[in-house]
Amino acid sequence: MQLTGVGVWSSQLRYGDAAEAAEAAAELEELGYTAVWIPDVGGPVFDSVDNLLGATKQVVVATGILNLWMHEPADVAARYAALTGTYGDRFLLGIGVSHAPLIDAGDPGRYRKPLAATRSYLDALDATATPVPADARVLAALGPKMLHLAATRAGGAHPYLVTPEHTATARATLGDGPLLLPEQTVVLTTDRDEARSIGTDWLRSYLQLPNYANNILRSGFTPEDVATVSDRLFDAIIAWGDEDAILRRVAEHRAAGADHVCVQVLDADLQAFPRAQWRRLAAALA
């Protein structure tokens, strides 16, 4: 699979009203976005993929990411085969190991050895009757070991909550060839106070997760940056400003080696579909 351009990462497309999600996905395709990405923190993720594929004709639908602890490999392989059989090769299976606080909440001690768990999951996928092709799956990868696994056992990597500097490091680790598909969170406002009001608590919730906090520390930020959600950290992770500011950040990821960038738009109402902002960004991209 070749994936370029700019896509949209959206929890609303996954957990919002299904009819509106389908309508929004069709519009996103018309606006020129090349992919729509949805998360997976529980529930029937493949029903959402089916809904989005059925509403579109060419756009790639990607999981960002499918939580490997929540889905049996045989079931994943069977649903992947069924969906691609119906809609063609437009489904990109993003797979991730998620986070200990989420997985251990219901089963303490279950989350362990994430690299080995991911490798075992890929082994199990490959051993099914209808294996998911390696080039049709990508891994949620932040550190060098998981990035290496993404390069050798998948079609590439989908890093989340990262900077263009991380993209450059990831590209160096992946080498030429594997897809590099980072997520970039954005807030369309030129007012710093408004941007902080919208994004600070959202970002703080992710910084409670060790995988993200450790990656940010590896990227040169300090424990104080993480604890306080400093302006320096906020500005590095969340692109805010007008359309030109957002496009500059996307261009920085592309210059650093990204094949495709998926933007996640935050608005004051985190549950509502940010369709006006998607339209504004699409017009600027055009």
pLDDT attached to residue 30: 98
Provide the Cα torsion 119, 262, 222, 109; round to 10°.
Answer: -30
Q: Which long-range contacts (CB under 8 A, 24 or more apart) does 101-106 make?
A: 101/208, 101/209, 101/210, 102/41, 102/209, 103/69
Sort residue 32 into left (φ over 0), alpha (ψ -120 to 50) or beta: left
Return the exposure string of 138-154: e unless at least 16 CB atoms fall within 10 Å of the residue's CB, then b.
bbbbbbeebbbbbbebb
pLDDT attached to residue 188: 98
Element (H, E) at 284: helix 275-285
| pLDDT (tens place) for every residue of the chain, 286 residues total | 889 999 999 999 999 999 999 999 999 999 999 999 999 988 899 999 999 999 999 999 999 999 999 899 999 999 999 999 999 999 999 999 976 666 766 677 677 888 999 999 999 999 999 999 999 999 999 999 999 999 999 999 999 999 999 999 999 999 999 999 999 999 999 999 999 999 999 999 999 999 999 999 999 999 999 999 999 999 999 999 999 999 999 999 999 999 999 999 999 999 999 999 999 999 999 9
DSSP string, 158-189: ---S--HHHHHHHHHHH-SSSEE--EEEEE--
Q: For the segment 238-258, what is each residue's pLDDT rounded down to a tens digit?
A: 999 999 999 999 999 999 999
pLDDT attached to residue 42: 84
pLDDT attached to residue 104: 60
Q: For the segment 270-281, what is each residue's pLDDT rounded down to a tens digit?
A: 999 999 999 999
Whether 11 contacts 38, CB under 8 Å: yes
Residue with tokens 């499918």: 66
Q: Which residues contact 173 (CB under 8 A, 6 or more apart)?
A: 144, 147, 148, 151
Whether 246 contacts 167, CB under 8 Å: no
Residue with tokens 């079609």: 155
Whether 60 contacts 181, CB under 8 Å: no
Q: Which residues contact 68 (CB under 8 A, 6 or more apart)?
A: 95, 96, 97, 98, 117, 118, 121
Element (H, E) at 35: strand 35-38
Tokens of 3: 């994936």
Work out the number of other CB atoms within 10 angstroms of the CB of residue 191.
12
Max Cα distance, the chain (Å):
54
| Cα 1 to chain centroid, rounded | 17
Per-chain mean pLDDT for the chain: 96
Give the separation between CA 130 and CA 254, rounded to whole angstroms.
34
Give the separation between CA 41 and CA 58, rounded to whole angstroms.
26
Q: One-letter amino acid identity for 98? A: S
